[in-house]
């Protein structure tokens, strides 16, 4: 059954609805709202990552501090080096061991200093991110309300258009409407376009043997862009 007249009428009304939708999508209120929303989503993961790293650093620090304490006790044993030598100990052996212990202690302390520097950096990054998150939470709340106000202001007009679309759709095959709505979700617009010579608006050449199918107000889908084509 020919549906061209109804489809074109439906698309005209739908174009008005789409214009409102695009206006809302492009609004500063929505941009600010979405900016804050995306930041907070990313910040949540980043904060969790920093918290995890802080725990890892603390664990590594405790381990190093324990090793430093053990090494310090080991080195302290050599404070009585003279008595150990007098007791018949090998001075060369003691000196070699003492030096090795001191070298390991210095190495551990260097590791500890690097770890403490990283800890400071993590704390500072966490602090800054928390401040930014608090600011974005305020922005999210503020612009969420502003966007709702803007959307509510458009609601009567949207309702009027939607009711008209529903009325027109009653005269169109549900299968065709389903295909129309699917194309709309895919952001294809306009969905119904005239054949220009032998070509669709996308540049695809419409086979001549199919053009007879357009007679009497019928529509046929373009094989390339999947729009509905009609013969003007």
pLDDT in tens, 59-117: 888 887 777 777 776 666 655 555 555 555 556 666 677 677 777 778 878 888 888 88
Provide the token pair at 54: 């802080």
Q: Which of 171, 200, 220 is the last residue of a domain?
A: 171
Domain count, the chain: 2
123 and 16 share a domain? yes
| One domain for residues 29 and 109 | yes
Structural domain of residue 160, as residue ranges? 4-171
The answer on 69 and 98 residing in a single domain is yes
Cα–Cα distance, 155 to 200 (Å, whole number): 35
Q: What is the CATH number of the domain that holds 119?
A: 1.10.287.1490
The predicted-structure confidence for 101-158, as pLDDT tens digits, reads as follows: 777 778 878 888 888 888 888 888 888 998 999 999 999 999 999 999 999 999 999 9
111 & 200 share domain: no
How many whole angstroms separate alpha carbon 149 and alpha carbon 155? 10
Same domain flag for 161 and 228: no
Least confident of 21-30, 101-110, 138-147, 165-174: 101-110
- Say if residue 51 is in the same domain as residue 156: yes
Lowest mean pLDDT among 12-16, 73-77, 89-93, 200-204: 89-93
Write down the residue that tokens 């995306």 correspond to. Answer: 38
pLDDT of the residue at 74? 65
Average per-residue pLDDT for the chain: 86
Domain co-membership, 229 together with 159: no
- 76 and 104 part of one domain: yes
Q: What are phi and psi of 221, to 5 degrees?
A: -75, 140
Q: Are residues 110 and 208 located together in one domain of the fold?
A: no
Query: Which helix (H) or strand (E) is 229 found in, with range?
Result: strand 228-230
User: What is the value of pTM for the model shown?
Assistant: 0.68
Radius of gyration in angstroms for the set of CA atoms belonging to the chain, rounded to a whole number: 37
Residues 153, 226: one domain? Answer: no
Q: Which stretch of 122-126, 204-208, 212-216 has the lowest confidence by average pLDDT?
A: 212-216
């Amino acid at each position: 059954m020919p549906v061209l007249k109804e489809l074109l009428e439906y698309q005209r009304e739908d174009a008005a609805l789409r214009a409102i939708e695009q206006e809302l999508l492009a609004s500063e209120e929505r941009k600010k709202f979405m900016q804050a929303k995306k930041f907070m989503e990313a910040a949540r993961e980043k904060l969790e990552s920093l918290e995890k790293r802080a725990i890892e650093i603390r664990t590594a620090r405790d381990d190093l501090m324990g090793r430093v304490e053990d090494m310090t006790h080991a080195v302290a044993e050599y404070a009585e080096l003279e008595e150990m030598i007098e007791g018949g100990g090998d001075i060369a052996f003691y000196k070699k061991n003492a030096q090795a212990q001191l070298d390991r202690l210095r190495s551990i302390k260097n590791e500890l200093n690097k770890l403490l520097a990283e800890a400071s950096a993590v704390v500072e990054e966490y602090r800054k991110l928390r401040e930014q998150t608090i600011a974005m939470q305020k922005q999210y709340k503020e612009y969420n309300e502003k966007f709702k106000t803007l959307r509510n202001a458009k609601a009567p007009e949207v309702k009027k258009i939607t009711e008209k679309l529903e009325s027109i759709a009653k005269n169109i095959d549900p299968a065709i409407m389903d295909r129309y709505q699917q194309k709309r979700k895919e952001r294809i617009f306009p969905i119904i376009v005239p054949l220009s010579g032998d070509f669709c608006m996308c540049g695809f050449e419409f086979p001549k043997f199919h053009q007879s199918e357009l007679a009497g107000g019928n529509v046929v889908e373009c094989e390339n862009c999947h729009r509905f084509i009609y013969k003007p």
